[in-house]
Structure 1
Amino acid sequence: MHTVLIIIAVIAFFMIVLEDVLHLNKAKTTLFLGTLAWILLFVFPEDGVTPKQIQGMLNENLLEIASLWLFLMAAMTFVAFLNHQGLIESVIYKFLPSKVGEKKLLFMVAIFSFVFSSLSDNITATLVSVALVLSLKLPPKKTLKFAVMVVFAVNSGGVSLITGDVTTLMIFLADKVAIQNLLWLSLPSFVSVLFLAGLLSFGLKEELVIKGVERRYDRVGMSIAVLFLFTILATIILNVLAGVPPVLTFLFGLSMMFLIGRLFYREDDRENMLDYIRVIEFDTLLFFLGILLLVGMLKEIGVLDNLVTIYDTLPPLQANYVMGLLSSLVDNVPLTAALLKANIEMSPASWLSLTYGVGVGGSLLIIGSAAGIVAMSKIAEVTFISYMRFSFYLFLAYTLGFAGSYAVGTVLFS
């Protein structure tokens, strides 16, 4: 039965990689195979293992998944409302000058993608950043450069805050890193983004005219925007000072969002804040659910014990670097989940470098991250081959950021 379960996990992996070829959403395949694997664990248990013991294993996995799921649901609902109100788009164009050189604009897009991805999930940040790039109507080669920059900046920006990257959130929830230490990762991440922007800026010499978008801000939109920022700050402060779980703070912020909506729209039935839960990326949430069920199953049957062999062969620093490179081929969510389930013993500095590695390493290939997949689906110029032309630049930027992440960890814990 172990062989059958491993085959199911391998099939799930290939279904993820070949999603664009098969035209079958990875959320559907992973959820199907993840739940099937656990059903088989119940129906065909190992000798001496009772259904009650398997139920205990499942409950442990579901508790971890629920914390991640509810946090992401709350954060994505906030962003869905702000995006619908046009606040995000308005803020972007408010800070863009009417005339700007392409080189300067590349740095501005990089910085915006970096900052915004820290506040929202990677998919939303990429969608907004890609929409900005497409609105510039650049020639195909230059559009490709901007797209490469967006993918790397989005992945880099997300690693320093639990609101920005799922793998960072997963490592935090496993008590491997602390929020106040994660924030320091923004320094090497930002430096690597600027370094890549410098490499990609060669050949950009034209000047562009930016046409802004005029929108009126209503009091509800501004109230929710302020509430969202306060929720992020409160999440960090309450966790550091009182150990309050981030999911609890964000759900509290979400409840306040619903109450504010009810207060302002008391006499208007056209707007219901609960409706925004229905428009978030549920396929992403279902994908995480399926993947984490599969990884949990592999942990329970002992397969993940083999994953730590690379840490027996290489020092943690080198092993983490390789894991980052591997995340460009293997989806970083199951990879991170597998590493956490394997109970690898590392120093806090090493966990910080792993956080950077699995969060940014997927940028090396277009299929290595959700940001890359979104960019490829929205921009015609971005293909697997065209993106690979910049792999060396991306490799250099990743290496610089990884070295910086370990340096930061060494200083923090020395």
Structure 2
Amino acid sequence: MLQRTKPLSVLLTLIAVLFSPNLFASAGESMDLTSHGIGYAAILFFGIAYCLVMLEDVIHLRKSKPVLVAAGLIWAMIGFYYTQHGMNHDAEAAFRHNLLEYAELFFFLLVAMTYINAMEERQLFDSLRAWMVNKGFTLRLIFWLTGILAFFISPIADNLTTALLMCAIVMKVGGTNHKFIAIACINIVVAANAGGAFSPFGDITTLMVWQKGMVEFSTFFHLFVPSAVNYLVPAVIMSFFISKEVAAGDDEVVHMKRGAKRIVALFLMTISCAVLGHSFLGMPPVLGMMTGLGLLQFFAFFLRKTQKSYYESAVHNASDRVEHERLRDLGDGAPFDIFNKVAKAEWDTLLFFYGVVLCVGGLGFIGYLGMISEAMYTNWDATYANITVGVLSAIVDNIPVMFAVLSMQPDMSLGQWLLVTLTAGVGGSMLSIGSAAGVALMGQARGIYTFGAHIKWAPVIALGYAASIVTHLWINASFF
């Protein structure tokens, strides 16, 4: 018994000493914990968690798990220290502040994901894919079409969904032409990330900047030309390595299910509600998004109630036997269920986002973000600091990087906030692991689109990154 309890006693003693309020701080000092054992432990926990996140594809551990645990440990240590000093309400208020920031983004993203899943279930994206595959386009034209569509769809849908849709097209068209698939996937990743950079809805980082009030909705579109340059420079160079052979189709026909186009219209209406409510009523964008979710629920109710009568009538009026069978199968299928679409949201991503926001918020409350802000935005020129943010986002996920910058709130001009929005959005394209789109496509085109295949084109992508920054500094000079 003594042999079993002695190590535990030693461990508890070490923990008590390490987190002792008086170990590194004496009475009267500020609550800066950057030189305290709690601060060092928080950095260690976050570092371990993020290493596990980056190894997700190797160890097959979902990325939300380690950051959720790290967030709990960091705030538990903060709570312990502040309770010892009789300031537990300060720690509680800081935690609630970070939780509120996450809650607004959570519900916003949940609604957006629900709409995207609804469109997918109504076979909107499958219909687009089948149309492109069977048009008899050349491989080079497919390369350009998938890139351009990724660039223009990602500002409305999220860049991850857009990239997966376009990758499905090139996989179908490319067949055994692995060289085409690899280059086309790189093009899609760059295009999706670039397209998401000039819209508040295109990426989580742009959404964070908009909801924080750093950049107005309409001002984001001043990044359109720099984002286009970021995509076009590498795309033009890579296109010369794509052959002009005609792609083989498979004659697959996919029909959109009933209500698909109306769901698109509702999604656009929901976005309008979020934008107008924020611009004219001063309300958080999440209010408009949740209102739009209510509209989608009403439409789902309408589809369920009218499914039987609609398809009975359609089957009766079918022009041929094939159409008759198709409509009967659709009518016999499960009715549209809105909560099924909610359940299929990217919950791992949403929970990962919670962990990141709380971890970074905790590190900021300890004092580390103030130190980084001082080092980057006081000792460096803001332009160089924001360019560095983009490079970091190619190595570390851009969500914690951008949240850290927003938490620091450095005193910058509007032009600099636009610059960091651009660099954080497109910087991840330089490595395949630098964005959610790249990681997802490595899984979808496993063994074809790889880290090695992407890094071969990294100099070309970096050229586009540099060109987009120069373009922004030139055409948006009035914002600096």
Q: TM-score, normalised by structure 2?
A: 0.82
Give the distance between the partners of 1:199 and 1:237, measured in 2 at CA.
40
Preserved CA contact (<8 Å) 1:366 1:372: yes
Shift of 1:300: 0.5
Which residue of 2 is the match for residue 24 of structure 1? 61
Give the distance between the partners of 1:111 and 1:338, measured in 2 at CA.
31
**Helix, strand or coil for the counterpart of 1:367?**
helix
Superposition CA RMSD, Å:
1.9
Give the distance between the partners of 2:265 and 2:166, measured in 1 at CA.
21
Preserved CA contact (<8 Å) 1:110 1:150: yes
The superposition leaves residues 394-414 of structure 1 with CA deviations (integer Å, 9 ceiling, x where unpaired) of 101111122223334324x37
Does 2:147 align with 1:110? yes
Give the distance between the partners of 2:43 and 2:82, measured in 1 at CA.
15
Give the distance between the partners of 2:354 and 2:277, measured in 1 at CA.
27
Which residue of 1 is the match for residue 409 of structure 2? 343
Q: Which of 108, 128, 136 lines up with 1:91 in the alignment?
A: 128
Preserved CA contact (<8 Å) 1:375 1:382: yes
Give the distance between the partners of 1:407 and 1:96, measured in 2 at CA.
40
Give the distance between the partners of 1:92 and 1:245, measured in 2 at CA.
35
Shift of 1:271: 2.9
State the one-letter code of the partner of 1:392.
P
**Helix, strand or coil for the counterpart of 1:382?**
coil
Shift of 1:254: 1.0
Which residue of 2 is the match for residue 14 of structure 1? 51
Preserved CA contact (<8 Å) 1:352 1:409: no
Shift of 1:159: 1.2
Which residue of 1 is the match for residue 285 of structure 2? 246
Which residue of 2 is the match for residue 169 of structure 1? 207
Q: Which of 341, 349, 357 lines up with 1:292 in the alignment?
A: 357
**Helix, strand or coil for the counterpart of 2:448?**
coil
Give the distance between the partners of 1:209 and 1:244, measured in 2 at CA.
51
**Helix, strand or coil for the counterpart of 1:353?**
helix
Which residue of 1 is the match for residue 166 of structure 2? 129
Identity of aligned residues (%): 30
Shift of 1:92: 4.3
Which residue of 2 is the match for residue 180 of structure 1? 218
Q: Which of 68, 72, 92 lines up with 2:105 in the alignment?
A: 68
**Helix, strand or coil for the counterpart of 1:100?**
coil
Preserved CA contact (<8 Å) 1:126 1:371: yes
State the one-letter code of the partner of 1:277.
V
Does 2:294 align with 1:255? yes
Q: TM-score, normalised by structure 1?
A: 0.94
Give the distance between the partners of 2:252 and 2:85, measured in 1 at CA.
66
Does 2:393 align with 1:354? no
Bigger drift between 376-385 and 208-217 goes to 208-217
Number of residue pairs aligned between Structure 1 and Structure 2:
413
Give the distance between the partners of 1:217 and 1:332, measured in 2 at CA.
35
Which one has the largest radius of gyration? 2
State the one-letter code of the partner of 1:270.
P
State the one-letter code of the partner of 1:272.
D
Preserved CA contact (<8 Å) 1:307 1:339: no
Which residue of 2 is the match for residue 404 of structure 1? 471
Which residue of 1 is the match for residue 461 of structure 2? 394
Which residue of 2 is the match for residue 281 of structure 1? 346
Residues 92 and 410 (structure 1), Cα distance of their counterparts in 2 relative to 1, 3 Å cut:
farther
Preserved CA contact (<8 Å) 2:277 2:287: no
Moved over 4 A (4+): none
State the one-letter code of the partner of 1:24.
L
Does 2:100 align with 1:35? no
Shift of 1:26: 1.1
The superposition leaves residues 155-195 of structure 1 with CA deviations (integer Å, 9 ceiling, x where unpaired) of 11111112110011111122111110102212221232122
Give the distance between the partners of 1:195 and 1:289, measured in 2 at CA.
35
Residues 20 and 240 (structure 1), Cα distance of their counterparts in 2 relative to 1, 3 Å cut:
same
Which residue of 1 is the match for residue 192 of structure 2? 154
Does 2:377 align with 1:321? no
Stretches of structure 2 lacking an aligned partner (at least 5 in a row):
1-37, 308-333
Preserved CA contact (<8 Å) 1:136 1:210: yes
Which residue of 1 is the match for residue 369 of structure 2? 304
Does 2:125 align with 1:59? no
The superposition leaves residues 119-165 of structure 1 with CA deviations (integer Å, 9 ceiling, x where unpaired) of 11222122212211211124111111001001111111111112110
Bigger drift between 379-388 and 73-82 goes to 379-388
Bigger drift between 266-275 and 335-344 goes to 266-275
Residues 273 and 369 (structure 1), Cα distance of their counterparts in 2 relative to 1, 3 Å cut:
same
Which residue of 1 is the match for residue 326 of structure 2? none
Give the distance between the partners of 1:294 and 1:20, measured in 2 at CA.
22
State the one-letter code of the partner of 1:389.
K
Residues 147 and 95 (structure 1), Cα distance of their counterparts in 2 relative to 1, 3 Å cut:
closer
Preserved CA contact (<8 Å) 1:295 1:337: yes
Shift of 1:215: 3.1
Residues 108 and 48 (structure 1), Cα distance of their counterparts in 2 relative to 1, 3 Å cut:
same
Q: Which of 430, 433, 443 lines up with 1:364 in the alignment?
A: 430
Preserved CA contact (<8 Å) 2:303 2:335: no
**Helix, strand or coil for the counterpart of 1:209?**
coil
**Helix, strand or coil for the counterpart of 2:200?**
coil
Residues 223 and 385 (structure 1), Cα distance of their counterparts in 2 relative to 1, 3 Å cut:
same
Give the distance between the partners of 1:195 and 1:173, measured in 2 at CA.
31
Shift of 1:342: 1.2
Preserved CA contact (<8 Å) 1:352 1:406: no
